[in-house]
Chain A
């Protein structure tokens, strides 16, 4: 333990100060809001159940041929998660932010030691420890295996945490810059896509001869710290003492190297500018240099319509929350019908899923502006202004969603080889897109809610959750009901065997959808114009 500060007073050690600081921050964070406490407690409950299940699963796996593969790969996966986590969830831990420590007279070595111990406090590290313990339990046999396991379990858990901190410290420049914060906002998307990939991989694994196909991966990961520590337990249990020792030493060496790397980054960070300074100083002069509206603007109509469309379309690429919403809608709208079609369980009507997902992008238009909405509110004084504003937003959205809906429907028809049903399905999809766009315009005006920009996980400000869900669910139900006449007509034509008339659903659906958009805009415009201050208040919360 390091004794710093004055010799007169018995100062507490730096490590215990940091651990207590961490606990206080945790406690105060929970005291701040009941919702946070509830979330934290449910995380603990969920985590405990999860950990118990994992340990049980590992224990049950003892003795099975694939136990070593699973134990090593799971540990490797956990380490990978720790390594990438700080890139997506930055500054979750205030005690570890070097910018808060620069003013204090601290020496690097005791500081890093204290920080490392403090980072072990929390749900994540404890869960990791349990997980690694389970992994070790599943492969440890005999006295040698047990002895190595006693060393390996804490070693690999600490290595995971050190890895995470070292990566975070090395990337502070990225994480404190605007680009890093944008990256963090996209994390939900990365996690969703990653889960799809894992899901897909697991399905492939099930088909391709089971867990034996993991052997080569195990051979490699078993030498990579911290999974190498679990590999050491496995090797020791199998009698390969030299291999076990080598793997254990490798992990210990990796831990030392990580801590050294972390310490060097910390020292550097305390005297160098962070990303925010660099971002402000550098001139990002790579943007479209043309006057005013730019290249995109020249394609669009003039006046308010063009300006609003231009802004909406630019925001799809530039604003992380908008981008995430669009990419999610576009991806899921494509994945659901096409995956179902590939698996042979699909129907061409699944293509309507795409128009439903994309139509939801019209919901809460003003919430997407945030408190920047005042600029819009300042220029709307009549119903006609509000109509022009909403119509331009709908046009910007339809400029992408309309062709995309047609594309998804056509691709689904192609995979199913069901071209004869393309017109009716497309007609339904267009009607649904119109219904969602129309109801979206109305709910944007009547039920606006704020989308906090500071967190990637909050899409609704506290107290507005019910409003958000209510407007989306209500809008979806009404959107579906509005399409009922067309669905009825489709069913009727099928049942009454008038297949030659089914193509009519395409022009009728397109026209009906267009009318629904117009009706929605007409309904929404006066409500927007009359409620500007209320909308501004609602979208500026949080």
Chain B
């Protein structure tokens, strides 16, 4: 079961602000999703290695050779605010 606190924690991590209706809606929906996984848990997977990728590939590598980057103008084009070649963001105090 998903509690109201679980929903609020997930919302906080995702930086989402939810209304009371949304909290109730997501609590129900996320609970259902977890329910599907409980179904899956009934299967014995002890002899199946965890799959991290759908393709049977490994070691896709590229040589360490520089290629041109975007221009600063291009890099900043989607930014709502920029200044002196930097992205500008609201004041950030400390990483928490």
Bound together: no
A interface residues (Cβ-Cβ under 8 A, vs B):
none
B interface residues (Cβ-Cβ under 8 A, vs A):
none
